[in-house]
């Protein structure tokens, strides 16, 4: 096959990793460093003030109700979500939903680690969702709002009963700041700021509704809780966790970096502006997908397509005819070529997902860079396809 002309210009920022994600436009290490309370105890007044500032600006940008607690916790989104699971589950039956690798991880925790007696597992293949209408209102529910490794998100929270008896535990790590979260339907939300806000790794954020706090103060799990998971003492919530008194030592450099991103988002116009940026990035990519024969969005239902972790599958017949290893080798050639050209970094699909591409379109990415990426994708595909034909 004849190769299309090689594009003349690469994206200004070819950073399309799905985590850690691109820094905000105009980001400066020097500015972040000057702001950070370095060399200070995280329990010092100035450091605690910055942690509380991060909590309150998170509330502002995500439009979190005033009666919800927000805490900064260890170990990224994983630590935050497992803290919630270990602390809250066991009081009611559980419906565990999984349609990609991280949701599957929570299922493993619930079934094999916590060994919950009444845990119904509801799964779907990558690119699809389970039957949300079958979720029991009397059960605690585990789910990811946006499947980072599948590109499939819940279209809304209409499937969650307003008068539910159970709690909803929502992993929102690649949805927060880019998608509308329906707070009346969410009892626990977790995320890491390394996703949509482009922050540095290792810190998680835990959001608790009053219903979740009531569960914490009225129920004692039947298993031991390590210190890093403990949110209560003497049957009462440890309120300091939600006022900047972290359970373990945070990186104040990372906190300053997060504050930098939060201020940027607030300056743009708040949560609506961040969501609009992600939507524009997704539109730039999906518009190209719709016009291109060799590629499709992994998610068939448009309403369920992520606007952040956009997962694509190659549908060219010659590539589709390859076995799994052959398709992964094809993708590897494409992504290696793009990295050598400085046109795109880290866009291979997740290792447990079907072979394909994954392009981050969160708010810190520029739509112009997404548009500049698409001719490079065509060129890299043609290069790999020609090599396949010649083999």
Structural contact between residues 140 and 84, judged by C-beta atoms closer than 8 angstroms? no
Separation of alpha carbons 192 and 263, rounded Å: 17
**184 and 311 part of one domain:** no
334 in a structural domain? yes
Provide the number of structural domains found in the chain: 2
Contact 64, 183 (CB under 8 A): yes
Do residues 134 and 278 both lie within one domain?
no
- Is residue 233 located within the same domain as residue 304? no
Any domain includes 335: yes
Write out the chain's pLDDT in tens, 391 residues: 678 899 999 999 999 999 999 999 999 999 999 999 999 999 999 999 999 999 999 999 999 999 999 999 999 999 999 999 999 999 999 999 999 999 999 999 999 999 999 999 999 999 999 999 999 999 999 999 999 999 999 999 999 999 999 999 999 999 999 999 999 999 999 999 999 999 998 999 999 999 999 999 999 999 999 999 999 999 999 999 999 999 999 999 999 999 999 999 999 999 999 999 999 999 999 999 999 999 999 999 999 999 999 999 999 999 999 999 999 999 999 999 999 999 999 999 999 999 999 999 999 999 999 999 999 999 999 999 999 999 9
The answer to whether residues 246 and 339 belong to one domain is no
Torsion sign over Cα 195, 199, 202, 203: negative
Residue ending a domain, among 266, 289, 304, is 266
CATH of the domain at 318: 3.90.1150.10
Residue 143 lies in a domain: yes
**Backbone phi, then psi, for 234, in 5-degree steps?**
60, 30
pLDDT at 4: 84
* Interatomic CA distance for residues 190 and 206, integer angstroms: 5
pLDDT score recorded for residue 159: 98
Residues 248 and 293 in one domain: no
pLDDT given at position 264 = 98
The structure tokens listed for 208 are: 């608790």
Vertex 140 angle, CA 136 and 141, to 5°: 75
Assign 210 to helix, strand or coil: helix
In a domain? residue 161: yes
Please indicate, yes or no, if residue 24 is contained in any of the structural domains. Answer: no
Q: Looking at the domain assignment, is residue 13 inside a domain? A: no
Q: Confirm whether 11 is domain-assigned.
A: no
Residue 103 · residue 144 · CB < 8 Å = yes
Q: Which 8-state DSSP code applies to residue 23? A: P
Q: Are residues 86 and 216 in the same domain?
A: yes
Q: Both tokens of residue 129? A: 């969702």
Give yes or no: residues 188 and 89 share one domain.
Answer: yes
Domain end position, chosen among 241, 266, 291 = 266
How far is Cα 316 from Cα 385, in angstroms, rounded to an integer? 9
Residues 216 and 167 in one domain: yes
In this structure, are 240 and 276 located in the same domain?
A: no
In the block, which residue shows the tokens 């820094």? 23
Range of the domain at 112: 29-266
User: Can you give the pLDDT at residue 2?
Assistant: 74
Are residues 194 and 68 part of one domain? yes
The domain boundary, picked from 217, 238, 266, lies at: 266
The reply to whether 173 and 242 lie within a common domain is yes
Domain match, 261 and 320 both: no
The CATH number of whichever domain residue 178 belongs to comes to 3.40.640.10
> How many other CB atoms sit within 10 Å of the CB of residue 67?
9
Q: What pLDDT is stored for residue 1 in this prediction?
A: 61
Q: How many residues does the chain have?
A: 391
pTM tops 0.85: yes
The answer to whether residue 192 is domain-embedded is: yes
Using alpha carbons, list the distances in angstroms from residue 243 to 14, 100, 280, 356, 381.
37, 33, 35, 43, 50
């Amino acid at each position: 096959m004849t190769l299309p002309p090689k594009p003349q210009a690469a994206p200004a920022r070819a950073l399309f990793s799905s985590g850690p994600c691109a820094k905000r436009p105009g980001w400066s290490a020097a500015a972040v460093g000057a702001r950070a309370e370095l060399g200070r105890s995280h329990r010092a007044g100035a450091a605690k003030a910055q942690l509380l500032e991060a909590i309150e600006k998170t509330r502002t940008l995500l439009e979190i109700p005033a009666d919800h607690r927000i805490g900064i916790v260890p170990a990224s989104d994983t630590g935050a979500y497992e803290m919630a699971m270990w602390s809250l589950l066991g009081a009611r039956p559980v419906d565990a939903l999984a349609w990609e690798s991280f949701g599957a991880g929570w299922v493993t925790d619930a079934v094999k680690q916590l060994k919950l007696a009444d845990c119904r597992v509801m799964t779907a293949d990558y690119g699809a969702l389970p039957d949300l209408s079958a979720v029991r209102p009397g059960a605690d529910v585990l789910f990811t709002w946006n499947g980072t490794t599948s590109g499939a998100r819940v279209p809304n929270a209409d499937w969650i009963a307003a008068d539910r008896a159970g709690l909803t535990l929502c992993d929102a790590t690649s949805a927060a700041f880019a998608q509308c979260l329906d707070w009346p339907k969410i009892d626990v939300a977790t995320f890491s700021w390394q996703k949509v806000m482009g922050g540095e790794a290792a810190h998680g954020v835990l959001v608790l509704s009053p219903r979740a706090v009531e569960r914490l103060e009225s129920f004692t799990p039947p298993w031991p809780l390590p210190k890093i998971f403990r949110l209560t003492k003497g049957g009462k919530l440890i309120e300091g966790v939600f006022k900047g008194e972290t359970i373990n030592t945070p990186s104040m450099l990372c906190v300053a970096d997060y504050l930098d991103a939060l201020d940027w988002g607030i300056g743009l116009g708040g949560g609506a502006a961040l969501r609009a940026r992600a939507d524009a990035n997704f539109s730039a990519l999906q518009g190209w997908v719709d016009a291109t024969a060799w590629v499709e969005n992994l998610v068939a239902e448009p309403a369920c397509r992520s606007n952040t972790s956009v997962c694509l599958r190659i549908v060219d017949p010659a590539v589709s005819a390859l076995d799994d290893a052959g398709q992964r080798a094809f993708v590897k050639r494409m992504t290696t070529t793009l990295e050598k050209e400085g046109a795109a970094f880290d866009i291979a699909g997740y290792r447990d997902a079907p072979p394909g591409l994954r392009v981050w379109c969160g708010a810190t990415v520029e739509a112009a860079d997404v548009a500049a990426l698409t001719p490079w994708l065509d060129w890299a595909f043609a290069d790999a396809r020609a090599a396949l034909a010649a083999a």
